[in-house]
Structures are given as C-alpha cells and as structure tokens.
Amino acid sequence: MMAEEGGREDFEVGNDGLLIRGTSEGKGAPVILCHGLSATRDYVVHGSRAIQRSGRALHLWDARGHGLSDAPDDGGGYGYPEQVGDLDAVITDRVGGGEVVVGGHSMGCHTALAWSLANPERVSALILIGPVFDPSGKGQPEDRWDERAIVLEEEGPEAFADLVADEFEGSEDERETVRRIALERTLCHARPEAVAQALREVPRSKPFEDLSQLEELSMPCLVVGSHDEWDPGHPLSVADGWTGALPDAELIVEEPGDSPLAWQGGRLSREIVGFLDARAPEGSGA
C-alpha cells in the first residue's frame, strides 16, 4: 500500500508471472488511470498533479510490455483479458477493497471499462478518455497497426515516429508536434519489441461485445472525446456512441481548432477533478 504521508512511491505488482511497475502519489480517495497503446504511465495526465492536489491518491502504471513493466516471455498475451488482470492486481495492491475511480486513455480506457463491467460495485466513477473500440466493426483497419509494429521492430523509434506523423493530415507544425510526442513516448520503453507485439494484439482484442453492455454501468462517467481533424485515431463518433449507451455519462471535447484535451495534462486533470468534485464528492479526500 502507499506511504502514509502520500508522497511519490514507485511500486511493483506481480501478476501472471510478470512484474507490473507503477507510481503512486497523493493521499485520499484512490484514482487509477491506465495509459494507451504504445504509451506509458507518464502519458495519461502528462505530469499534472491537479488530481493529487485535490485530495486524492493517483495511481499510474505501465501496461505489460510497456515502459518499465515486464513482458510475457512467449511473445503473446496482450489482449484485454490479460490487461484487465493486471489492472485488477494493481487495484488489489494499491487500494485493497472499497470503491475506486478508474479510467484511462484509449487502450487504457478500454481496460478500465472492461474491469468496471466485471466489478461495477467497486467503481465510484469512470473516466473514459479517447475511446476507440466500435463493436460494429467500423474501427481502424488492423493492418494499420501491423505496419506500425513492423516499422518499430525493423527500423526503430525514429522511423516509428515518422510513420505516426505521416498518417496525420494537419499542418507541418502540427505533424512535427505529433512526431515529437510519438518519439518521446516510444523512447520510454525498455522493450520496444514487446510494444510491437502489443500493437498487433491489442487492436484485435475486444474489451466488450456490444454497446448494450454499457447500459449496466450506472456510475457517473466522464467521456473525453476529440475532434477528428486533430486525432482521427480516436473518432469523436465513438466517444459520442459510448456516451449515449452509458446511463449517466457526460461528454466533453476541446474547442474546435484546439489540440485534444487528452494531450493537455493540466486541462484534462482539471476537468477530471471538476467532474469528480461534482459527481463523486466523497472522493475529495475531505
């Protein structure tokens, strides 16, 4: 469990023969956030401490094969059942029993949602940033992720970042921003070959089967979308569809022309805190 004073603490949690590594900071009601595919724990709220300052404890962790966490030796095992198992181990170690705010970005928001479907009584609020999964099958083609995996394996982080930027249709300055972020993220991984395998497996795994399952989740949910001109990889239509299916959900999106909220750690964190203060005030740590 966390240090009593609420200072920053690095932790290791064992699950499925792997060590999952993360960071805890703050004192109060627990907030667990999961990062996206090919990212790390540092790319959810991007270093913002607004959640901790609000009187809550923030727990972040590197998904299997990402960042400093272990990777499966057999080169597989990155689907959502395995991701949810890791999240459950982190929650058990960091929180124990009781309620928790859980959420994440992209792959991480899928993982958090899948865990919540299995443990709805444990979730006081759900934070869903940049959902991608569309059970109708209209999502991004899987060979897009296969190409990224091949480039990362065979040509390295620089070429991977170039590919990510080349897929972006914005201005040259905007493409350079996308490239810089992609390269920074990719250089954080101890085992980039494991990330490449995750790029193949995660998009082929389903966090749930049908949008109707989201109707089972009665807790307050904050859905964070983004406009497609900046972030077509996280379609606004998916965020809107999830919001409509969830019984008690609020959708927020950046102003047109602004960079996505998911990329702005300070603004994103303040939006999360404001939502939790209004909808889950017992999580204020007061």
Structurally, the chain folds into a number of domains equal to 1
User: Does 45 map to a domain?
Assistant: yes
Task: Judge whether 22 lies within some domain.
Answer: yes
- Residue 6 — pLDDT band, cuts 50, 70, 90? confident
Say if residues 124 and 282 touch (Cβ distance below 8 Å).
yes
Write out the residue range of the structural domain in which residue 108 sits: 9-133+212-284
**Rounded mean pLDDT of 37-46?**
96
Q: To the nearest whole number, what is the mean pLDDT of the chain?
A: 93
How far is the C-alpha of 18 from the C-alpha of 203, rounded, in Å? 22
> What share of the chain in percent tops pLDDT 90?
82
Q: How far apart are CA 114 and CA 118, in angstroms?
A: 7
Q: Give the 3-state secondary structure percentages of the chain, helix then strand then coil, rounded to 5.
A: 45, 15, 40
176 vs 4, residue with greater confidence: 176
Q: Evaluate whether residue 112 is within a structural domain.
A: yes
Put simply, whether the predicted model's pTM sits higher than 0.85 gets the answer yes
Which backbone phi and psi does 26 adopt, to 5 degrees? 105, 170
Is residue 192 domain-resident?
no
pLDDT at residue number 75? 78
Which DSSP category does 273 fall into? H
Read off the pLDDT of residues 90-146 as tens digits, 9 standing for 90 and up.
999 999 989 999 999 999 999 999 999 999 999 999 999 999 999 987 766 678 899
In which region does residue 34 sit, left (phi positive, over 0), alpha (psi from -120 to 50) or beta (all else)? beta
Q: Which range, of 7-21, 23-37, 39-53, 136-150, averages the lowest pLDDT? A: 136-150
What does the pLDDT read at residue 5? 60
159-211 tens-digit pLDDT: 999 999 988 877 888 889 889 999 999 999 999 999 999 999 999 999 999 99
Determine, yes or no, domain membership for 197: no
Q: What is the CATH number of the domain that holds 97?
A: 3.40.50.1820
The amino acid at 104: G
175 in a structural domain: no
Let me know if residue 188 belongs to a domain: no
Confidence grade of residue 285 (pLDDT, cut at 50, 70, 90):
very low
Taking a C-beta distance cutoff of 8 angstroms, is the pair 102, 121 a contact? no
For residue 2, pLDDT over 70 is answered with no
Q: How confident is the model at residue 243 (pLDDT cuts 50, 70, 90)?
A: very high
Residue 160 domain flag: no
